[in-house]
Amino acid sequence: MTVALIDYGAGNLHSVHNALKAAGAVDVAVTADADAVTKADRIVLPGVGAFGACASGLRAIPGMVEALDQRVLRGGAPFLGVCVGMQLLAKAGEELGTHQGLGWLDGTVRELPADGVRVPHMGWNDVIPLVPHPLIEPGEAYFLHSFAYSGEAVLATTEHGGPVAAAIGRDNFAGVQFHPEKSQRYGLALLERFLRWRP
């Protein structure tokens, strides 16, 4: 089973790679090759930084967005987005202007309101499932973000001055706002479930 970990210049690749291996992945290909993505059994899209820069970095790789659409939306490959990799599932992000996402879900990524809470949202916080999902369990995970998803298909929330999307997804793709690679046992258990997931 090949796991494609997409390298588009905007991810914590080393840590995510190590976490996937620790969770039991044998063949993790760190790749910026669209053809490799179309052949992968599972796909992970990490992301660190601003939404617009990450979206531009992904689109700068020839054929990558098309490969993701083909392999995930039409081919049914299990997909996990992490942090900004989750946010890119939205139609748009409003960080430093409005930028187009992948548009797999009808949602927008907007700045967290600083209503009596610290922004960025940083540290350990509860993940509260809203609906049953094979990947998402209640527990504590590590968050670091200033922008949050708002829209359809929210699977779990966390509390930071009100409910904030912690996980989103539909069918064979999901995303988590927290960092599994920094979430110790909880994060590794999620990655283990992802590697077993048969949507």
Q: Which residues are designated catalytic?
A: 83, 179, 181
Query: Sheet harboring 2-6: ordered strands across?
Result: 27-31, 2-6, 42-45, 79-82, 173-176, 163-170, 154-159, 121-129, 139-145
At residue 64, what is the residue type?
M
The one-letter amino acid at 196: R
68 and 37 Cβ atoms separated by less than 8 Å: yes
The CA distances from residue 39 to 26, 43, 58, 77, 128, in Å, are: 16, 10, 18, 10, 34
Task: Read off the amino acid at residue 54.
Answer: C
Give the C-alpha separation, 80 to 169, whole Å. 9
